[in-house]
Chain A
Amino acid sequence: LAKTTQPISMDSYEGQEVNITCSHNNIATNDYITWYQQFPSQGPRFIIQGYKTKVTNEVASLFIPADRKSSTLSLPRVSLSDTAVYYCLVGDMGTGGFKTIFGAGTRLFVKA
């Protein structure tokens, strides 16, 4: 499983765009990149997933350069409720399940 590296914490203000970058230098050909969000005392929540280039959904965008050794989660116009821990995960299904390894994640603090 590819190891991921993210900033430990980030601060932002309401209304700003936030970009969280994850490094995964040893990403394998079959690996996908997935981001989860976790609020205190809740389970992680899927945000977005991609393999290459750019993926966008209703909550975020994911930018993946051609070499796939990093990825950037972009949250447009954050609000106070986006304060959470954001995890970047890299891997594939294997033979019958996804051995999901969470790193320490990035703690995002959104201020008023």
Chain B
Amino acid sequence: EPEVTQTPSHQVTQMGQEVILRCVPISNHLYFYWYRQILGQKVEFLVSFYNNEISEKSEIFDDQFSVERPDGSNFTLKIRSTKLEDSAMYFCASGHRTSGDTDTQYFGPGTRLTVL
């Protein structure tokens, strides 16, 4: 069964550094998402991406964040200058439109980001 993959599984970085989290979505999916989950808290939507552009973003997704689909397979999340509060698990998801006006999203295993 196809699955979403993410690398690295764990990233440790110093405050102020840039990080790039990578995701390989399921190949025939057209909708891509990033979420984060701070330890012990709920899953938070960051951004959705469709047709090579951001379609929705949350208030968390400020100018420090950017997403890119540099080629036909990868989907990346960049955090320009990490803060301590960016420490969280980051999940990538990809989805396809279902028969109705909604989608089914498939999540990757996550990247645990630790900012020191």
Give residues in A with beta carbon < 8 Å to B. Answer: 30-32, 34, 38, 41-46, 49, 51, 87, 91-105
Contacts and interface: CB of A to CB of B under 8 A. Distances in A.
Contact of B102 (A42, A93, A101): A93
B79 interface: no
Given A43-B91, A43-B107, A46-B106, A99 B42 contact: no
Interface residues of B, number: 33
- B interface, by DSSP: helix, strand, loop or mixed? strand
B33 interface: yes
Interface of B: 4, 31, 33, 35, 42-45, 48-51, 53, 55-56, 58, 89, 91, 93, 95, 97-98, 100-110
A92 B97 CA distance: 10
A36 B30 CA distance: 20
- A interface, by DSSP: helix, strand, loop or mixed? loop
B42 A103 contact: yes
B91 A102 contact: no
B55 A43 contact: no
A7 to B, nearest CB: 15
Given A95-B55, A98-B103, A99-B48, 9 more contacts: A32-B98, A44-B43, A46-B104, A46-B105, A49-B104, A94-B56, A96-B50, A98-B56, A102-B45
Residue among B4, B51, B58, B93 with the highest chain A CB neighbour number at 10 A? B93
A93 B101 contact: yes
Contact of A97 (B4, B49, B101, B109): B49
